């Protein structure tokens, strides 16, 4: 007879035992959360809900114990020595208002991004946010990117997040290991890639019953409880999870239904990206998205309004925003108020086309607009990029005047397309009429005017905004009534050059990588170049041409991406061009 097996000298460590136990518990829980299996098991083995609840609680306890020993998933924090370029927001509280105020587009729970795994990495999706062009907020420990709000859902025990103005209008640059943070600068966010990433990850856990889904649901519940606790500690309006008394299976069914609605929202936004020119980092076809999301047959009572999105434009800067008399690259509106309601819906706010009701938040939208008015011009950061050459600056200033640059950029105004020669798609697409009830058509501008005001006024009513506050919110510039205008005959809109160095790539569609290339004839500008990286070239002024990693390639051969036109200053000598660039750094 053989000797009995001796006791092992290497017992399973507690962590591994916990993982094994947790895995078995999760598999059992996965089966019990499938309705058909649950009924069968319930009928044969588990005679009451309490025992079923106990099994599910075993899985919950195992996963909770595992997560409790791990750091909270989040974006990599901003470098402690990040250089905050002054742009008018002078303290942490002002920046926090800009970075965190909700607009009403808060469609997704914060816990969703911590609990979902990125299919590409297997890690929490929120840890991949930087790959979409999102940036960490200096001095902020939430793990959320700049522009992502935190808001307690009014009818659910979830802490929600969504995109606000700062997501697109605050940016960061890097140079030789240093990071610069610039509020008001155009960011390199890839809106389309972000929503596609969320959609792909969410579809993966919602499409079928599985152990992965159960793990996700328990992770979600764990992280959401943390978010609620954080808001309670901070004094924000939050409550403890209210579904704790419900059976676990029923609680998960409610959560799945809630996330299913969020999935529909992501599907709706991603569907609007079809048949289009890819925007890539730092660009968006906002009016294409609004047309395809809001001007549907359900809303307007007429089909045929879906249009291919072939006019992505660069996200503009907001330096000296309070002085803007008209907005956007074609100056198509004099109201920042009304357009922000349309923007909130385009970025995920709930919207009922029958009643015009939405989740847009009037007081918070107004707060964002007022905060934006504080934004000023960022000075060339000599402590990072080095000092300017005064002699070159003086010569460049003279060239700026003699070459006619000041004629267009000393004040706001329109310049006809045939004079500029730049890509026409933004103007052409915006001029396409929309079909409405009764077999009629009307201009996109007219429809935007009536639609945006309808959404805004419904939001005022639903949020019980007093008339006096409405009048204050509607104020934009003294004596300037809200206008949405047709712009094809007017051309593109220019304004004084402010903080130009921080706004690459250049032209309205971001088709020229640096100021040096902008001063070359169109046929000598790069046909393709890398976009999405943040390493700055302070000599040519723009992003470096050969980054260590190519995130996205801009192709000027695609419709909407032409790099033609604006050939002003292209006949200068190289010496004169460098002088002019040195002066442009000071603006």
Q: How far is CA 352 from CA 298, 482, 505, 531, in A?
A: 10, 24, 37, 37
Note whether residue 213 is domain-resident. Answer: yes
- Is the same domain home to 59 and 165? no
Cα distances from 39 to residues 54, 56, 214, 405, in angstroms, run: 16, 15, 18, 75
Specify whether the CB–CB gap between 193 and 273 falls below 8 A. no
- 471 part of a folded domain: no
Q: Is the residue at 438 inside a domain?
A: no
Provide DSSP, 417-444: HHHH----HHHHHHT--EEEGGGEEE-H
Asked if residue 266 and residue 396 are part of one domain, the reply reads no
Give the sign of the dihedral formed by CA 183, CA 189, CA 191, CA 194: negative
Both structure tokens of 205: 């856990």
| Domain boundary pick from 311, 344, 372 | 372
Q: Are 324 and 396 in the same domain?
A: no
Question: Is residue 445 one of the residues assigned to a domain?
Answer: no
93 domain residue, yes or no: yes
Residue 451: Cβ within 10 Å count:
23
Other Cβ atoms less than 10 A from the Cβ of 37: the count is 13
Q: Which ranges of the chain have pLDDT less than 50? A: 1-48, 238-245
Scanning the structure block, which residue is given the tokens 């099994």? 55
Q: For position 26, what pLDDT does the model report?
A: 42
* Dihedrals phi, psi of 495, to nearest 5 degrees: -145, 170
Note whether 225 and 268 are same-domain residues.
yes
Same domain for 363 and 400: no
* Statement to judge: residues 396 and 343 lie in one domain: no
pLDDT of 316 reads 96
Residues 363, 402: one domain?
Answer: no
Within-domain flag for 124: yes
Percent helix, strand, coil in the chain, to 5, is: 45, 10, 45
pTM, full prediction: 0.88
> Is-contact 194 202, C-beta < 8 A?
no
- Are 199 and 338 found together in one domain? yes
Residue 417: inside a domain: no
In sequence order, what are the beta bridge partners of 309?
276
Which residue segment(s) compose the domain that 571 sits in? 388-412+495-584
Q: What is the CA radius of gyration of the chain?
A: 27
Residues 139 and 48 in one domain: no
Residue 485 lies in a domain: no
Question: How many domains does one find in the chain?
Answer: 3
**Phi, psi angles (nearest 5°) of residue 436:** -130, 180
Q: Which residues, including other chains, have CB under 8 Å from residue 44's CB and lie 6 or more apart? A: none
Residue 564 has a pLDDT of: 98
39/116 same-domain check: no
pLDDT of residue 476: 64
Structure tokens at 529: 């170049």
Q: How far is CA 235 from CA 228, 238, 239, in A?
A: 11, 8, 11
Same domain for 111 and 54, yes or no, is no
Residues 190 and 290 in one domain: yes
SS (H, E, C) 302-371: CCCCCCCECCCEECCCCCCHHHCCCECCCCCECCHHHHHHHHHHHCCCCECCCCCCECCCHHHHHHHHHH
Q: Is 438 exposed, middle or buried (0-12, 13-18, 19+ CB in 10 A)?
A: exposed
User: Angle, to 10 degrees, between the axis of helix 362-372 and the axis of helix 336-346?
Assistant: 120
């Amino acid at each position: 007879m053989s000797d009995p097996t001796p006791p092992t000298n290497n017992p399973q460590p507690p962590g591994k035992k916990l993982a094994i136990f947790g895995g078995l518990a999760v598999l059992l829980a996965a089966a019990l959360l499938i309705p058909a299996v649950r009924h069968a098991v319930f009928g044969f083995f588990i005679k009451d809900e309490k025992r079923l609840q106990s099994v599910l609680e075993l899985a919950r306890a195992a996963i909770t114990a595992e997560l409790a020993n791990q750091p909270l998933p989040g974006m990599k924090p901003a470098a402690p020595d990040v250089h905050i370029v002054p742009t008018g927001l002078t303290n942490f509280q002002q920046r926090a208002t800009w970075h965190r105020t909700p607009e009403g587009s808060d469609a997704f729970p914060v816990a969703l991004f911590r609990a979902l795994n990125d299919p590409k990495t297997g890690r929490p999706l929120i840890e991949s946010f930087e790959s979409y062009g999102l940036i960490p907020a200096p001095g902020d420990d939430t793990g959320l990117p700049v522009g992502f709000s935190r808001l307690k859902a009014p009818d659910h025990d979830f802490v929600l997040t969504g995109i606000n103005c700062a997501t697109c209008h605050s940016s960061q640059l890097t140079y030789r290991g240093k990071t610069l943070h610039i509020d008001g600068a155009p960011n390199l966010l890839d809106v389309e890639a972000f929503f596609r990433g969320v959609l792909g990850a969410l579809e993966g856990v919602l499409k079928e019953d599985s152990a992965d889904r159960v793990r996700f649901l328990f992770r979600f519940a764990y992280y959401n409880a943390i978010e609620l606790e954080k808001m309670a500690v901070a004094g924000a309006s939050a409550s403890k999870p209210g579904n704790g008394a419900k059976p676990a299976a029923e609680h998960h069914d409610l959560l799945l239904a809630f996330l299913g609605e969020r999935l529909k929202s992501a599907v709706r936004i991603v569907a609007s990206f079809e048949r289009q020119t890819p925007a890539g980092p730092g660009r968006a076809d906002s009016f294409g998205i609004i047309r395809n999301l809001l001007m549907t047959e359900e809303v307007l009572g007429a089909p045929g309004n879906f249009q291919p999105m072939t006019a992505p434009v660069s996200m503009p800067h907001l330096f000296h925003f309070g002085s803007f008399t008209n907005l956007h690259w074609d100056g198509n509106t004099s109201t920042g108020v009304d357009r922000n309601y349309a923007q909130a819906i385009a970025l995920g706010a709930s919207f009922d086309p029958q009643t015009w009701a939405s989740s847009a938040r009037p007081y918070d939208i107004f707060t964002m607009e007022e905060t934006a008015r504080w934004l000023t011009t960022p000075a060339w950061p000599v402590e990072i990029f080095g000092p300017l050459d005064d002699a070159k600056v003086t010569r460049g200033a003279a060239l700026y005047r003699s070459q006619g640059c000041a004629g267009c950029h000393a004040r706001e105004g329109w310049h006809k397309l045939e004079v500029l020669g730049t890509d026409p798609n933004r103007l052409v697409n915006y001029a396409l009429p929309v079909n409405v009830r009764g077999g009629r058509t009307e201009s996109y501008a007219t429809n935007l005017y009536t639609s945006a005001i309808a959404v805004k006024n419904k939001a005022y009513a639903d949020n019980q905004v007093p008339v006096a506050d409405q009048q204050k919110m509607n104020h934009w510039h003294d004596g300037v009534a809200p206008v949405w205008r047709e712009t094809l005959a007017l051309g593109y809109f220019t304004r004084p050059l402010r903080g130009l160095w921080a706004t690459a790539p250049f032209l309205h569609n971001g088709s020229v990588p640096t100021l040096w290339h902008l001063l070359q004839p169109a046929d000598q500008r790069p046909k393709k170049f890398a976009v999405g990286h943040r390493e700055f070239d302070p000599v040519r002024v723009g992003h470096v041409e050969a980054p260590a990693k190519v995130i996205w390639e801009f192709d000027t051969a695609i419709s909407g991406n032409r790099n033609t036109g604006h050939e002003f200053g292209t006949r200068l000598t190289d010496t004169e061009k460098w002088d002019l660039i040195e002066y442009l750094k000071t603006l």
